[in-house]
Amino acid sequence: MVRDRAAQQAVAPDANRCVTASPVLYFMASRFAPVNRRDVSRPKIMADKSKSFVLWSDGLDHWQAGRLDEAAAALQEAVATGGSDIAFTQYLGSLGGVLGDHGRSVEAQRAFEQALQRALEQSGDEGNASSEVVVARYFLAQHFLRFEQPLQAVTISEPSVGVNAKLEGILRFVRALAFAALGEGGRGRTEGVAALELATSENQRERMKDQLHEILGSVG
């Protein structure tokens, strides 16, 4: 069984350094690894902030303070009014995280799936190799792990594996946890080793190693 702590934390990419095409890559705090979803920073991208952007920021403040009802309300309004915002995938991802913390797993899954769909629509020629798509797949897979659906985590991550995605390491990380939860220790170890090899920084690699130490040490 995947530990709750490992399932709820993110070993996310060094997005601010690795991704130049998308200045508001879904979850800017991903440069800190592992990181809880609520530990996010606000990208300084709008001189005149939209109403939805302000609502998103307010929602994050509520989330960080543990006010889940208020956070969900603010983020739902941000999503409802911010469809044209450049940060829209972040609104959806934050909403999914809050709803997940609230135990509203079906609604959370829907938000994460919408974030992935938007990322795919904006991915251009990169498709499943797009860093924004990879991150969206990562957080949806993490959601599945959190609610004990490891097979779905494997399935949703698969399209962005083996396509030369810059951030593939985070998918390998979550797949290691998923295969371990499925009782496939050998495959879990293989994915874990790949995650360490593909990590985007030494800091990320060490944090992955810390969370995967039982999986990596269980075989061979």
Q: Is the pLDDT at 61 greater than 70, yes or no?
A: yes
User: Is the overall model pTM greater than 0.75, yes or no?
Assistant: yes
Residue 62's pLDDT is 96
Closest of 198, 106, 144, 160 to residue 7, by C-alpha: 144
State which residues form the domain around 166. Answer: 4-217
Q: Has residue 150 got a pLDDT over 80?
A: yes
| pLDDT tens column, 94-128 | 999 999 999 999 999 999 999 999 999 999 999 99
Measured between alpha carbons, how far is 44 from 28 in angstroms, rounded to an integer? Answer: 11
Task: Pick the closest to residue 219 from 200, 195, 193, 199 (CA basis).
Answer: 193
What's the total number of domains in the chain? 1
- Which CATH number do you get for residue 28? 1.25.40.10
